Structure 1
Amino acid sequence: MRLETSPDLVEFRAEVRAFIAEHGPGPRRRTGVRAPEPEEMPRLRAWIGRLYAAGYLGQAWPVEYGGRPGARPEYGFIVAEELARARTWGEVGAAALAAGALLGFGSEEQKRRFLPRIRTAEDLWCQLFSEPGAGSDLAALSTRARLDGDHYVVDGQKVWTTNGHHADLGYLLARTSTDGPKQAGVTAFAMDMRSPGVDIRPLREITGTNDFNEVFLDGVRIPVERVIGRVDDGWRVANLSLGHERSGVGARGVELFGQLDDLFALAGQATVGGRPALADGGTRQRLGRLATRVHVADKMSKVVQSRMVNRTEDPADAPLAKVFYSEVNLEAAETGVALQGIGGIGVDEDAPWADGWWQDAFLYARAYTIAGGANEVLKTIVAERALGLPRDKR
């Protein structure tokens, strides 16, 4: 691993930290990739616009579209880490993903129209990829788009659409042809979420919040000039855009170290057998094992960062780091609930500590083992693409 610091990176980190302290919207109440409450959106749009204007978001974009002159890959990692350290909001929605598609494949007219509004947060985007029958196997998507004059007419259903109820635009994948392999015949679109025929239905989750949505598309008309890239080439657009913005990998270790500090504080307050939990040998062993795993998860993330910077990535790097992080994050949440004893069954104001933060984190933590690729699927990718093991029969 070669991930070195330097005086200019130290100075940049201090600059970002000071900026967040002065202008940030304050800490998030909940962990995970969550949707804000509606009343939070105006100040978060303003905050996202500030981050872009200061050159902290979108800094790797070409300079002519607002990117930061002389930006280094390490800058993106630092911004993600400092936002995580402050436990505050970064970008809301799928704008980074959409920007990757537009910068890589969009027309000049699309870039001039959409990119400035991403930078000001006038437009928030959501990702319309997954379907009830096409989650881990995205190529199985069945939402159809048929050409009708100068519009495509779209019918189908999307699901697990984070921030769909806040989004102005959707980065949509739909099937425009059934010829050839299932990866072929998919087209990418920029869809207005307020179009007639778009029905957004928030999903109430086990956490009690509405972060995901179902999106039903019934005869939605999308102008042909909203196709991103070429017709039937959406699979390539999606795959390349997914790799455009990956600086968030650097925040994982920071998040886990923050949780670890909170666990030790909780163990100093909670009791086991009438004594502080930290005085219990079993509790100390559990925390010690978890601390070791947190350090390993952080080093795995740093390896991914290092190889991204040095262009020596291995197919196993990001999947293994994500799998291990999700498992350690789940273990941390389970420990936080267990330390509360019978009080661990309380939620929100009925919880004895942190207004139920650990209970919410526990209920949400399973999502990380699925989001970004289910752990089982990622392990198969590592086996087949990195280790060269025989493929399973499909």
Structure 2
Amino acid sequence: METLRFKLDDTEAVVRLEISPELDAFRGRLRAFIAEHAPGVKPKAGVRAPEPEQIPAIRAWTAALFEAGYLGAGWPVEYGGRPELAGLERAFIVAEEIARARTWDPIGAGPLASNAIIEFGTDEQKQYYLPRIRSAQDIWCQLFSEPGAGSDLASLSTRARREGDEFVIDGQKVWTTNGQHADMGYLLARTDPDASKHRGITAFALDMRTPGVDIRPLREITGTCDFNEVFLDSVRIPADRVIGQVNDGWRVANSSLGHERSGVAARGADLYRQLDDLLALADGLTVAGRPALEDGGVRQRIGRLAVDIHVADLMSKAAQSRMIHGTEQVADTPLVKISFSEANLSAAELGVSLQGVDGIAVEGDPGAYADGWWQDAFLYARAYTIAGGANEVLRNVVAERALGLPREPR
């Protein structure tokens, strides 16, 4: 058990981080399940799109997690929910153990779409979509961000106009993770251009095979295509694919995002894994004829990073505790994301730096350490400081909404 104490306005708060025997047993069963069923170790760091040949195994893995109750436990019982396995504590453990095993999370936006459908969908939508998400027959992607609407999502300009029993969609989405593998898209589009920007937005379930949907993978600095642009040219969506009410999509989207909290638990496991890898790297490399780990300067750099990682993990655990007890604070998620992304970037930078001149060797180059894993991680790590809200924007959120500081001039 760990106890975290901090002060706010001269009031001491105590967070006790402890796991019950029941949850310990749950973790043990989960680890055994992952060892038996997981589709292998992810070859690259970060939230990456798999290769097409890996998709069948990931679909089977996702379906197995649902069937065992490790995913979807909080769903309504009639759609496969398992109340005895529900709860944020268990969801956090599942996310943490998947990260610790270095295996694949279920890919796509299925969790977000299912949250929206369960809360706002019609009975027909629930009966059709939820079983297909559980079986991984449908992989979903998230069609929210646009070239001019990233951190300020409410500025989206993709239009949807009503024509009889259909909506006609025109616009462009970007940063669509796994769009090239998706069967369905959770789409936001503007249905009332005269309304204020947070109003007049509608949520849709889009079949990605619909004529007029053009998916174009974006090749990144890592050399891989994890994101996509999606162009929508006179795409027709039946009106019964609206999730919730027309012009109420902002509320639908925010509610579904608010339900998806388990990712915060994977942060600490990811960072401690990086730390283990750094120690192994430093032990295997030499400085002046000795293992790098015996060099005082190297040990100091790793030690400073270990402190940052431990603090980031404690911040994550404190945020999880408040989420579980319904006392979540505005600053929790932004601060966890900032501390994780910057510690992760520092770890990747240190991993490349320790290799000296060989740090420029990338995947496929002769002599590349771990076939360029650290170089790929370094190139990808900067993305974590931008994705999910740029750290600069999140610092403003903390300053303005949590600390009550004056708003930044617009």
Q: Shorter chain as normaliser: what TM range? A: over 0.9
> Helix, strand or coil: the match of 2:222?
coil
Asked if 1:264 corresponds to 2:279, the answer is: yes
Displacement, 1:349? 3.1
Displacement, 1:219? 0.3
Where do residues 1-394 of structure 1 align in structure 2 (5 Å cutoff)?
1-70=15-84, 71-350=86-365, 351-394=367-410
> Helix, strand or coil: the match of 1:201?
strand
CA offsets, 1:196-237, max 9 Å, x none? Answer: 000000001110101000000000000000000000010111
Distance 2:240 2:229 in 1: 26
Distance 2:214 2:87 in 1: 41
> Helix, strand or coil: the match of 2:162?
strand
Distance 1:208 1:151 in 2: 39
Distance 1:352 1:126 in 2: 34
TM-score normalised by length of structure 2: 0.95
CA offsets, 1:295-315, max 9 Å, x none? Answer: 001101101110000111000
CA offsets, 1:240-264, max 9 Å, x none? Answer: 1001121121111111111101101
Partner residue, 2:8: none
CA offsets, 1:307-333, max 9 Å, x none? Answer: 000111000011001001000000000
Q: How many residues get paired?
A: 394
Displacement, 1:352? 3.0
Displacement, 1:2? 3.6
Amino acid at match of 2:260: E
Amino acid at match of 1:347: V
Displacement, 1:388? 1.1
> Helix, strand or coil: the match of 1:243?
helix
> Helix, strand or coil: the match of 2:181?
coil
CA offsets, 1:175-201, max 9 Å, x none? Answer: 000223111110000000000000000
CA offsets, 1:104-125, max 9 Å, x none? Answer: 1111110111000000000000
Distance 1:230 1:153 in 2: 17
Amino acid at match of 1:356: G
Displacement, 1:353? 1.7
Displacement, 1:390? 1.6
Amino acid at match of 2:66: Y
Contact 1:60–1:73, Cα closer than 8 Å, also in 2: no
Amino acid at match of 1:353: Y
> Helix, strand or coil: the match of 2:160?
strand
Distance 1:44 1:191 in 2: 22
Distance 2:166 2:121 in 1: 17
Displacement, 1:384? 1.1
Distance 2:227 2:49 in 1: 8
> Helix, strand or coil: the match of 1:261?
helix
CA offsets, 1:117-153, max 9 Å, x none? Answer: 0000000000000000001111110000000110000
> Helix, strand or coil: the match of 1:349?
coil
Amino acid at match of 1:384: E
Unaligned runs of 5+ in 2: 1-14
> Helix, strand or coil: the match of 1:67?
coil
Amino acid at match of 1:54: A
Amino acid at match of 2:380: Y
> Helix, strand or coil: the match of 1:191?
strand
Distance 1:223 1:96 in 2: 23
Distance 1:3 1:50 in 2: 30
Contact 1:3–1:305, Cα closer than 8 Å, also in 2: no
Distance 2:229 2:87 in 1: 38
> Helix, strand or coil: the match of 1:189?
strand
Structure with the bigger RCO (C-alpha within 8 Å, sep 6+) is 1
Distance 1:6 1:255 in 2: 23
> Helix, strand or coil: the match of 2:103?
coil
Distance 2:191 2:341 in 1: 35
Distance 1:391 1:258 in 2: 38
Distance 1:140 1:72 in 2: 34
Distance 2:209 2:70 in 1: 30
